[in-house]
Amino acid sequence: MNKRWKVFQHSSDYRFTPYIMAGDPCEEATIELSLALEECGAHALELGVPYSDPLADGPVIQRAGMRGLAQNMNLEKTVKLVAKLRERGLKIPVIIFTYYNLLLQLGENRFLKLAENSGVDGVLVPDLPYEESGYLQEMCSEHNLALISLVSPTTREEKLAKLSREAEGFLYCISSLGVTGVRSEFRAGLDDFLKAAKRNSRVPVLVGFGLSTREQIQQFDGSSDGFIVGSAIVKKIEELESDLLTNREEAIKTFKSYIESLLPVYSR
Amino acid sequence: MTTATVPDHRGRYGVFGGKYVPETIMFALEELETAFDEAIQDKEFNELFQKELAIYSGRPTPLTRADRLSEYNGGASIYLKREDLNHTGAHKINNAIGQALLAVRMGKKKIIAETGAGQHGVAAATVAAKYGLSCKVYMGKEDIRRQALNVFRMKLLGAEVIEVTSGSQTLKDATNEAIREWVAAVEDTFYLIGSAVGPYPYPKMVKQFQQVIGHETESQFKEIHYEKLPDAVVACVGGGSNAIGMFAPFIEKEVPLYGIEAAGMGVETAQHAATLSKGSNGVIHGSLTKLLQTSEGQITEPYSISAGLDYPGIGPEHAYLHETKRVTYEAVTDEEALQALKLLCENEGILCALESAHAVAYSLKLAKKMRKDQHVVVCLSGRGDKDVHTLMEFEEGGE
């Protein structure tokens, strides 16, 4: 476990992990948005990679991916972007969120070497379930990267216990069935699921998918160690698209006040 | 031969296949695998399936010798396996009946399906009506525009057609959207996949329900030719369900097999759907297979005049049969398919689907190089009524 993960894991805060799409709406904006998120108190950052066929994502992140693709953003450039973020002073763990086909085409080994040298801390592959992840898991350990595990309310009990025990970085608990995107309500019985995950996990247990308001986030404090917000933030970036391209300073200010309105005061 | 051990217990055909899906639906794939394995061991289920194929779809479909076409073409004689004579006009119904019976057996009341041209959508809507299931069909906006007639048929059958506006708005995006819906509704919904693609156990299951094509062909051919086997078997390949069903009993025997992809405007152009000829290894719709993509892994949009072959991936077992060289895969252009379609019309009085016309076109080429006492069987996967509009546009635009 590297130093950035240690800080993350030892934090006593209700950990905030935002997701943004690399290259949305342009590379420099991604850098400044990442730094702004850290200033607002993010404990880690998930960086998405644009993909033509993102089958775990809802419309908001699909559109962000299209904008990233229009900027010719790809997996290799996303990893190199992390090196630039480190140069600009970003200190929190960064997790690359990529579909498996992109990894395969770049080459798993090439990706892992590049990621290790660029200051990446973890990888999350939404279409690579545990059953198919043996090789990548092994290679990630060799390169000091955490392969982030996703567990769902539909994950069977024994598998949930095993994945929770073996989790690295953090354990990603999906709040509800379906793709990423804003939701008005969550699944009944979610607390039991989170409790079961926490019982076995050595790493912080984070809840994600569908969280978009302070009230929703507060609802999970106590049953989890942190939360992930993706679509709601990406939607705000979409709203600010033109300003992020032409009047960035102003846009970042607006963005930061939005993030502050989202976060429970005690999570910072 | 080489294929006796596939798929392995992890759902692999060599390196191909597997289950590349979000964790949320992994339990559903396990549940499906168990239910499917139990069903095909169950005599009652198999008898019910065979009975439904007979009294609902009109099986067995005939094996017709194309007398005048063979005469005109020269060389080996050509036999047509008449999947076009099935209820709803194509082989798609075989698989739809099988999966719907399985859905009923599993107690699922809702089915979802993806469709490109609408043939599988119509088959899914049909079995939903027959077995009293609710049905949602995902279809790209662009395909809805091109295939208005099939959209209307699905609605007549009581299905809900959902317009897909993501990505390139065609079959690949409709499939993504159906998978997204499945992830959301997985606990009470059965995903009825239309081709030999998708995560394991779908490729195995679709083959199981389509192999009736090959088994009937084998016994019909043997009856005519005193226990001999055909000298070649040809089928078109998009996702590859009619081909894998036709090939199934012949894979372990010494019969040359040919899978025909769509070359569109030509495999040397960017406008084709020749996945095996021009694709590379990658993951699409839950399975590791060959697919058309950029060097960075973005999946590209294929092209063919035939909407059923217009798919950037291919079933993982075909990728495996290609790699092991057990099946020869060739590509046929729009132009060649259209010519074959006309020849079949004029010489046999059969209007076949544009997809099937690709297989006919290659059979003609192949038969010419063979002896007169040899026999080529071609799978006529569907009828061409659905393509009349495309054919009219082509005639008006091209001449």
Contact list in B for residue A103 (CB cut-off 8 A) is 297
Flag whether the ipTM exceeds 0.90.
yes
A72 near B CB under 8 A? no
**Beta pairing partners, A46:** A19, A95
pLDDT at residue A268 in the model = 52
Q: How far is B311 from chain A (nearest CA, A)?
A: 14
| Complete DSSP assignment for B264-287 | ET-TTSS--B-HHHH-EEEEETTE
Cα distance between residue A215 and residue B9, in whole Å: 46
Contact status, residue B212 vs residue B40, Cβ threshold 8 Å: no
Considering only CB atoms, B186 lies closest to which of A53, A69, A154, namely A154
Which superfamily does A3-260 belong to?
Aldolase class I (3.20.20.70)
Over the stretch A42-86, which tens digit does the pLDDT of each residue have? 999 999 999 999 999 999 999 999 999 999 999 999 999 999 999
A131 near B CB under 8 A? yes
Please give the share of chain B, as a percent, with pLDDT higher than 70: 98
- Tell me how many degrees the CA angle B18-B143-B86 measures, rounded to the nearest 5: 75
- Say whether pLDDT at B277 is over 60: yes
Residues 6+ apart with CB under 8 A from B179: A55, B21, B25, B191, B285, B286
Contact status, residue B70 vs residue B77, Cβ threshold 8 Å: yes
Residue in A57, A121, A225, A243 annotated catalytic: A57
Cα distance between residue B284 and residue B291, in whole Å: 7
8 Å CB contact of B23 and A177: no
pLDDT at residue A266 in the model = 65
User: Given the DSSP bridges, would you call strands B327-333 and B257-264 parallel, antiparallel or unpaired?
Assistant: parallel
8 Å CB contact of A51 and B293: no
Is A121 catalytic? The answer is no
Contact list in A for residue B296 (CB cut-off 8 A) is 74-76, 102, 105-106
What's the rounded mean pLDDT across residues B84-104? 98
Residue B297: closest C-alpha in chain A: A102
Cα distance between residue B313 and residue B328, in whole Å: 17
Cα atoms found within 13 Å of the Cα of residue B327, Cβ hemisphere only: 30
Instruction: Please state which of the ranges A110-124, A182-196, A231-245, B148-162 shows the lowest mean pLDDT.
Output: A182-196
pLDDT class for B168, splitting at 50, 70, 90? confident
8 Å CB contact of B22 and A126: yes
Residue in A27, A38, A46, A243 annotated catalytic: A46
Cα distance between residue B349 and residue B69, in whole Å: 10
Contact list in B for residue A182 (CB cut-off 8 A) is none
Q: What is the enclosing helix (H) or strand (E) of B80?
A: strand B77-82
Question: Domain ranges in chain A?
Answer: 3-260
pLDDT at residue B4 in the model = 56
What's the rounded mean pLDDT across residues A188-201? 92
The residue whose two tokens read 């939005």 is A258
Over the stretch B22-48, which tens digit does the pLDDT of each residue have? 999 999 999 999 999 999 999 999 999
8 Å CB contact of B24 and A53: no
Cα distance between residue A197 and residue A191, in whole Å: 10
| Complete DSSP assignment for chain A | --HHHHHHHH--S-EEEEEEETTSS-HHHHHHHHHHHHHTT-S-EEEE---S--TT--HHHHHHHHHHHHTT--HHHHHHHHHHHHHTT--S-EEEE--HHHHHHH-HHHHHHHHHHHT--EEE-TT--GGG-HHHHHHHHHTT-EEPEEE-TTS-HHHHHHHHHH--S-EEEESSSSSSS--S---TTHHHHHHHHHHH-SS-EEEESS--SHHHHHHHBTTBSEEEE-HHHHHHHHHTHHHHHH-HHHHHHHHHHHHHHHS-GGG-
Residue A102: closest C-alpha in chain B: B297
Contact list in A for residue B285 (CB cut-off 8 A) is 55
pLDDT at residue B213 in the model = 98
pLDDT at residue B1 in the model = 47
pLDDT at residue B399 in the model = 45
Length of chain A: 268
Considering only CB atoms, B19 lies closest to which of A56, A58, A131, namely A131
Contact list in A for residue B20 (CB cut-off 8 A) is 100, 127-129, 132
Contact list in B for residue A127 (CB cut-off 8 A) is 20-22, 283, 286
pLDDT class for B148, splitting at 50, 70, 90? confident
8 Å CB contact of B24 and A74: no
pLDDT at residue B395 in the model = 82
Averaged pLDDT score across all residues of chain B: 95
The catalytic residues of B are 92, 114, 381
pLDDT class for B61, splitting at 50, 70, 90? very high
8 Å CB contact of B20 and A128: yes
Contact status, residue A16 vs residue A227, Cβ threshold 8 Å: yes
A245 near B CB under 8 A? no
What's the rounded mean pLDDT across residues A6-10? 97
| Domains of chain B and CATH, by start | 21-53+92-206 (3.40.50.1100), 60-89+211-398 (3.40.50.1100)
- Say whether pLDDT at A183 is over 90: no
8 Å CB contact of A53 and B184: no
Contact status, residue B137 vs residue B155, Cβ threshold 8 Å: no
In three-state secondary structure terms, B141 is helix
Q: How far is A163 from chain B (nearest CA, A)?
A: 11
